[in-house]
Each structure stands twice: as structure tokens, then as C-alpha cells.
Amino acid sequence: MNQSISAFLEGIPTFILSIVIVFTMLALLIGAIVLLGKMVGMFANKSNNVKVVESEASVIEEVVVAIEENSQDELELIAVITAAIAASMGTTSDQLQVRSLRKVQRKAL
């Protein structure tokens, strides 16, 4: 009995050391995952900004809309489309200018 207690007491430092190593490695792994997530987020934001700039120029130049004949509905439709484009670009509608509108003839599929 005395021998088993002695063996148990000799194993406690090894047990504590192994627990410390496991939790240290888990903390390092969590830190690496968080860091990689932030790095991927930075690269994704940079590539999204480039895409927005490229698409922004084409959207601002040509806004082609199917409009109704009623002028009040036209103005509301222009306001809604301008607001939607501004929201998708992350800007305000004050910075956008609608240059032309034309009715689109849809082809049946």
C-alpha cells in the first residue's frame, strides 16, 4: 500500500506538466485560428473593395431600368433603385447620379 501511494505521488508532477502543456497548446491553437481569421478577413476586404470600385464605375455610367409610364412611379422607382445601389456599394445616395433611364424589352425564355 505504501508503495502505491509513493508511486502516485511521484506521478503528480508529470500529470501537472502534461496538463499545462495541453492547455498551452490549446491556447496557441486558438490564437493561431483567430489570427488566420483576421488575416483572411483583411485579404477578403481588399479584394471586395477592388470589385466594388470596378463595378461602381459601370453601375454609375449605365442604370438601365424597366420603368412604368406614370411619372410619380418613375420618381419613386428611381429613388428605390438608387438607394439599393448605394446600399450595395456602402455609400450614400447623395454620391450617385442617375444619367439615363430606358425601358428594357424582356425576351421570353
What would the pLDDT profile of 9-35 be if each residue is shown by its tens digit? Answer: 889 999 999 999 999 999 999 999 999
Report the C-alpha gap between 26 and 2 in whole angstroms.
Answer: 37
Q: Which amino acid is at 5?
A: I
What is the Cα–Cα distance from 64 to 90, expressed in whole angstroms? Answer: 20
pLDDT tens track for 45-103: 665 555 555 555 555 555 444 444 556 677 777 888 888 888 888 888 777 777 777 77
Q: Residue 19 has what pLDDT?
A: 96
pTM above 0.95, yes or no: no
Q: Which three cell numbers stand for residue 30?
A: 486558438
